[in-house]
């Protein structure tokens, strides 16, 4: 039996936690309980963190197997993991920069879903320009740190156990930054959910008022935060790029909805075929990128993220044509997808920023004014 057959049979026969559905890269608070149980099930059957090296509990899975797993999960309507932040961002970053103690403490708990992580990077005045973060990390005489500041757009912060925090421990610019592991239950942390236009509250404001962190909660060395942050963002682009492999399912759903609403005419058929070709090309590009590009902060993954998020948005927008006037009347998943589709071109670095990276680092065009 091929790996894909194994996965399909596992997904067809394994009982699912009640309420589990394919909620995307990060869970809403109402999805967390089912998502945690699902992650534990994946770990028990050897399907958690397939891309991690074996020494850290992964499978060293080939690109083809990772794609097959993601596709089969999308087909079965389940998430491929609890959240992308722990398995795709924090895990690899701790393997690259974390201490042995941090790795031993956190990696097993990410793998089996005991810990849900959030990414505390963006601030009201620092999103695209992350090097401008102003949240302060002030070193105390006993070596501990006090954290003061505000983060925003933090997905899953209201349910997360731990956060990966980017803060300013030194002077201005990238050289003054450090990255910390923050237990979200610590005193001084206030999380306020933000309501989105689709009715969900997946992201939050996070206020940090004199939060105390120990010296061993720095990831890497103090002042090396920019390298850690860049590696995290590269991983995020790679992970979001991987969503390409689940998009065939979205196209199939679109076609079914259009047929049900009597709207599958030649013009919509053409659009669906074009979308299918785009997704197919992205899937090939994704496979090539993760085989050829070893540096996760490489520009290749920016191109992949750009292609994936814009294709996701365009497929989501076709929902309007598939549903017609029913899009105004019905509370249904295609409408929700239309509303969240545009967020894809913002999260993990906006399309404008990815185009600048593509222009400067791949095409070699003159640098954009800073």
Interface mask toward ligand FAD for 105-124; x: CB under 6 A: -------------xx-xx--
Using CB under 6 A, which of 261, 350, 360, 361 touches ligand FAD?
350
Identify which of 160, 130, 150, 142 has the alpha carbon closest to the alpha carbon of residue 213. Answer: 142
Check binding of 154 to ligand FAD (CB under 6 A): yes
Query: Which of 71, 200, 236, 249 is flagged as catalytic?
Result: 236
**Residue 117 and residue 81 in contact, taking contact as beta carbons nearer than 8 Å:** no
Nearer to ligand FAD, 153 or 286 (CB): 153
User: Of 346, 358, 360, 361, which lies in the binding site for ligand FAD, with binding defined by CB under 6 A?
Assistant: 346
- Structure token digits, residue 143: 């070596």
| Residue whose Cβ sits closest to ligand FAD | 127
| H-assigned helices in 77-175 | 91-97, 100-111
Judged by CB under 6 A, does residue 226 bind ligand FAD? no
> Position of tokens 């979205």?
250
What does the alpha-carbon distance between residue 177 and residue 148 come to, in Å, rounded to a whole number? 14
Report the C-alpha gap between 164 and 159 in whole angstroms. Answer: 14
How far does Cα 243 stand from its chain's mean position? 9
SS3 call for 7: helix
Q: Can residue 153 be called a binding residue for ligand FAD (CB under 6 A)?
A: yes
Residue 236 designated active-site: yes
Looking at the Cβ atoms of 211 and 323, the one nearer to ligand FAD is 211
Is residue 239 part of the contact set for ligand FAD (CB under 6 A)?
Answer: no
| Alpha-carbon span 80 to 133, nearest angstrom | 32
Size of residue set near ligand FAD by CB under 6 A: 18
Beta bridge mates, 262: none
| Bridge partners, 165 (sequence order) | 120, 180
Q: Does 352 bind ligand FAD (CB under 6 A)?
A: yes
Please tell me whether residue 356 binds ligand FAD under the rule CB under 6 A: yes
The smaller minimum CB distance to ligand FAD, of residues 36 and 283, is found at: 36
Interface contacts to ligand FAD, rule CB under 6 A: 118-119, 121-122, 127-128, 153-155, 203, 343, 346-347, 349-350, 352-353, 356
List active site positions: 236
């Amino acid at each position: 039996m091929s790996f894909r057959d194994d996965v399909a049979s596992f997904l067809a026969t394994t009982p699912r936690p009640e309420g589990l559905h394919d909620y995307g890269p990060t869970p809403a608070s109402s999805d967390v309980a089912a998502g945690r149980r699902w992650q534990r099930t994946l770990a028990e059957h050897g399907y958690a963190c397939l891309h991690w090296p074996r020494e850290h509990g992964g499978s060293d899975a080939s690109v083809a197997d990772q794609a097959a797993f993601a596709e089969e999960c999308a087909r079965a309507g389940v998430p491929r993991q609890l959240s992308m932040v722990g398995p795709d961002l924090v895990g690899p970053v701790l393997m690259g920069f974390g201490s042995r103690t941090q790795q031993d403490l956190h990696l097993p708990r990410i793998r089996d879903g005991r810990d849900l992580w959030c990414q505390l990077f963006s601030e009201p005045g620092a999103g695209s320009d992350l090097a401008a973060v102003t949240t302060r990390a002030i070193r105390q005489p006993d070596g501990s740190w006090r954290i003061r500041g505000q983060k925003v757009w933090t997905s899953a912060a209201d349910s997360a156990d731990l956060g990966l925090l980017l803060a300013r421990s030194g002077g201005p610019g990238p050289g003054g930054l450090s990255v910390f592991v923050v237990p979200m239950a610590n005193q001084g942390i206030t999380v306020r959910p933000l309501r989105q236009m689709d009715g969900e509250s997946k992201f939050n404001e996070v206020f940090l008022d004199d939060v105390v962190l120990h010296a061993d909660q720095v990831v890497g060395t103090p002042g090396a935060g920019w390298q850690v942050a860049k590696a995290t963002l590269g991983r995020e682009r790679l992970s979001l790029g991987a969503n390409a492999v689940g998009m065939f399912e979205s196209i199939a759903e679109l076609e079914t909805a259009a047929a049900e609403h009597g709207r599958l005419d030649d013009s919509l058929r053409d659009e669906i075929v074009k979308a299918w070709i785009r997704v197919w090309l992205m899937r090939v590009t994704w496979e090539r990128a993760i085989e050829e590009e070893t540096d996760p902060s490489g520009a290749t993954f920016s191109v992949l993220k750009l292609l994936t998020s814009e294709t996701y948005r365009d497929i989501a927008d076709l929902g309007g044509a598939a549903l017609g006037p029913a899009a105004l009347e019905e509370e249904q998943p295609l409408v929700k997808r239309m509303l969240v589709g545009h967020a894809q071109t913002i999260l993990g670095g906006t399309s404008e920023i990815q185009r600048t990276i593509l222009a400067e680092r791949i095409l070699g065009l003159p640098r954009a004014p800073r």
